[in-house]
Every structure is written in C-alpha cells, then in structure tokens.
Amino acid sequence: MKIYIGSDHAGVEVKEFTKELFKKRGYEVEDLGTHSTERVDYPDIAKEVATAVSKDLDSQGVLICGTGIGMSISANKIKGIRAAEVFDYYTASMARAHNDANILCFGARVVGLGVVESIVEAWCNTPFEGGRHAKRVEKITSLEK
Ligand code: RB5
C-alpha cells in the first residue's frame, strides 16, 4: 500500500513521526510536503495529496494541519476523495470500517503522539466492512458534481 502524506507548517513535526509509523508497518510513503516550519497554506498541500490519491485509488493519504479541519475540508473537494478527520482509535477505525475513508486527517495541535500511534494502528488494521455501508459510500460518490 502506498501512502501520500502532507502537512502544513503546524503539522510538519508530527508528519515526520507519522511517516515512521507507516514505514514500520511496511507502507511505501511519499512525502508531498511541506518540509519546513515556514508558513504555507493548507489547501495547497491538501490539493497535492488528494490529487495523488484520486489518480491512484489503491493508495491512501494522510493530511495533518493544526486542527485537521482545513485539510479535511480541502481534500474533500477533490473527486474520489473521502477524507475523514479523526480524533482517536474509535473514530479512525470507523472512518475505515463504515466510510471507506481514503484520506486520514488529524490535528497536530489536537492529538498527542500516543494518540497518533493508536490512530495509525486503527487505520491500518481496519478494513472497510462493505455490506450496508457500501450503498452509503456509493451515495457519497453520487453527490460529486
Ligand atoms: C495554521 O495556523 C492553521 O490554521 C492550520 O494548521 C489548520 O489548523 C487549519 O485548519
């Protein structure tokens, strides 16, 4: 599984930590920036990661900003993307199991590193349940213009 990852300046340190968690699990990780604490605009990074995932629907994405809000709002503007902001193990596992989310978003100023570990564990270990949830995910797709 390939993971495209990105953050703004607020998430850049947590991005480094998160990259290692995915690499340890055997994922191929491509970092699309930002690479320093110089200020950048989160929609620019969200566009890069979401566009990469939309062109390779076997891949997944990770987007980190201060709150996770701006990244998730921005990424969901791209066709084929289901970006979910999560806060803990439960919300990360539900984003995969029920929503088939393909981009994981969280806030570097919201969750601690221990919680990031549990979020990544849940994201990696939880498959989409399909069944009744598949019809609902299809309805999400049908909302795309
Ligand atoms: C940057 O200060 C902050 O606005 C950004 O990281 C994010 O939280 C936006 O949603």
- Render pLDDT for 2-31 as a digit per residue (tens, 0 to 9): 999 999 999 999 999 999 999 999 999 999
Domain extent for 9: 2-142
pLDDT given at position 139: 97
The Cα 127–Cα 65 span in angstroms is 25
Between CA 32 and CA 42 the distance in angstroms is 12
Residue 80 pLDDT level (bands cut at 50, 70, 90): very high
**65 catalytic residue (yes or no):** yes
Question: Ligand 1 atom closest to Cα of 73?
Answer: 10
CATH number at residue 45: 3.40.1400.10
Q: How many CB atoms lie within 10 A of CB 132?
A: 8
Q: With a 6 A CB cut-off, is 70 part of the ligand 1 pocket?
A: yes
Residues of the chain with pLDDT > 70, as a percent, come to 100
Handedness of CA 73, 5, 52, 96 (dihedral sign): negative
pLDDT of residue 97: 98
* Ligand 1 site, residue 72, Cβ cutoff 6 A: no
Tell me how far the alpha carbon of residue 14 lies from the centroid of ligand 1, in angstroms.
14
Confidence check: pLDDT of 36 > 90 = yes
pLDDT at site 136: 98
Q: What's the CA-to-centroid distance between 12 and ligand 1, angstroms?
A: 12
* Contact criterion met (CB below 8 Å) for 61 and 53: yes
- Please pick, among 9, 35, 65, 105, the residue that the annotation labels catalytic: 65
Quick one: pLDDT band at residue 145, thresholds 50, 70, 90? confident
Mean pLDDT of the chain: 98
How much is the average pLDDT of 30-51?
A: 98
44-54 pLDDT tens trace: 999 999 999 99
| High-pLDDT (> 90) share of the chain, % | 99
Averaged pLDDT for residues 27-48: 98
Which atom belonging to ligand 1 lies closest to the Cα atom of 10?
Answer: 6
Residue at 76: amino acid letter: N
Q: At what angle do helices 12-24 and 113-125 cross, to 10 degrees?
A: 40
CA of 39 to the centre of ligand 1 (A): 10
Q: Total structural domains in the chain? A: 1
3-state secondary structure of 29: strand
Task: Give the separation between CA 138 and CA 135, rounded to whole angstroms.
Answer: 5
CA angle 51, 8, 140 (to 5 degrees): 40
Q: Kindly give the distance from the C-alpha atom of residue 127 to the centroid of ligand 1, in angstroms, as a whole number.
A: 30
